[in-house]
């Protein structure tokens, strides 16, 4: 009798059916991969666009915040000189006209076509004194702000768009009144101007005393100081300003274009308390 082993030879494997991938299946796979890649690209592109927009918005407001912080610091340090003459004769001044020059001559009204509201722009000049006990003998500081031409701190912002400049100098108590170095401008103090923020369309500083605003500007001298100072700073972003300046030298076209874009004005408003006291 012949016995046959029932054990399968391990070297022998059952045949596995194989089949080639069809062109249709390959096209479907490639299409799915392409769709996934395209969807990821669109998602990343949208995210990048949003991030760029956020950065632009931050940049728009950052210059205004920096200017507002600087204004707040300077104004809050205002002191009364109680001096009829000398460096500290004038404690505070805010207005539009210095001598015969109206620095607000280039300002204009802006209309919101949606709400039909009107924003009346003003470009003021502000001057005040402060005292630095560590700067002996030149303890007295004069600080001033004005909106002037973006290319020349001595010229008016005639097209309604200007640059906010900060001016400062110091002296001892017996120096000739520091206001003359500013209000007698142009003069030696012209080199003391620093650019703070560009594309400004509105700058107003209002002194408040006993709850009432001093609306006509004027000088505060001797021991007089406001109880509060209200500041308004409005500016437009660089893109809008570039489009407007592209219409020069037609200043009427610039004003007409800007006047319909009041919704694009970034406005900062703050009220700063002034500590009583004198040096």
Q: Please give the residue that has the higher pLDDT: either 149 or 17.
A: 149
The chain-wide mean pLDDT, for the chain, equals 78
CA angle 186, 188, 190 (to 5 degrees): 55
Interval 239-245 mean pLDDT: 87
pLDDT for 102-124, tens place per residue? 888 888 777 766 566 677 888 98
Q: Is the pLDDT of residue 127 over 70?
A: yes
Assign 141 a pLDDT band (cuts: 50, 70, 90).
confident
Per-residue pLDDT at 19 exceeds 50: yes
Q: Please, what is the Cα angle at 258 between 252 and 261, to 5 degrees?
A: 150
Contact (CB, 8 A) for 89 and 249:
no
| Better-scored residue on pLDDT, 18 or 148 | 148
- pTM strictly above 0.75: no
Q: Nearest CA to 274 among 87, 92, 85?
A: 92
The predicted pLDDT at position 203 comes to: 94
Whole-number Å distance between alpha carbons of 206 and 67: 17
User: How many other CB atoms are there within 10 angstroms of residue 23's CB atom?
Assistant: 8
pLDDT of residue 71: 93
């Amino acid at each position: 009798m012949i016995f046959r082993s029932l054990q399968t030879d391990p070297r022998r494997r059952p045949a596995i059916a194989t089949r080639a991938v069809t062109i249709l299946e390959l096209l479907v796979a490639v299409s799915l991969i392409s769709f996934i890649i395209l969807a990821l690209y669109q998602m990343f592109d949208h995210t990048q666009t949003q991030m760029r927009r956020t950065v632009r918005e931050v940049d728009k407001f950052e210059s205004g915040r920096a200017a507002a912080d600087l204004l707040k610091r300077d104004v809050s340090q205002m002191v009364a000189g109680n001096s009829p003459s000398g460096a500290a004769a004038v404690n505070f001044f805010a207005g539009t006209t210095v001598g015969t020059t109206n620095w607000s001559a280039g300002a204009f009204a802006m209309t919101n076509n949606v709400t039909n509201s009107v924003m009346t722009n003003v470009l003021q000049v502000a001057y005040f004194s402060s005292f630095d006990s560590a700067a002996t003998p030149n303890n007295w500081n004069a600080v001033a702000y004005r909106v002037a031409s973006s290319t020349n701190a001595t010229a008016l912002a005639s097209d309604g768009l200007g640059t906010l400049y900060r001016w400062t100098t110091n002296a001892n108590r017996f120096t000739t009144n520091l206001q003359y170095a500013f209000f007698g401008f142009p003069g030696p103090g012209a080199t003391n101007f620093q650019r703070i923020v560009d594309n400004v369309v509105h700058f107003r500083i209002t002194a408040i005393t006993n709850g009432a605003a001093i609306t006509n500007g004027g000088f505060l001298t001797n021991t007089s100081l406001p109880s509060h100072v209200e500041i308004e700073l409005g500016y437009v972003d660089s893109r809008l300003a570039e489009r407007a300046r592209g219409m020069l030298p037609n200043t009427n076209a610039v004003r007409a274009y800007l006047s319909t874009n009041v919704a694009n004005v970034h406005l900062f408003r703050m009220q700063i308390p002034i500590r009583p006291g004198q040096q």
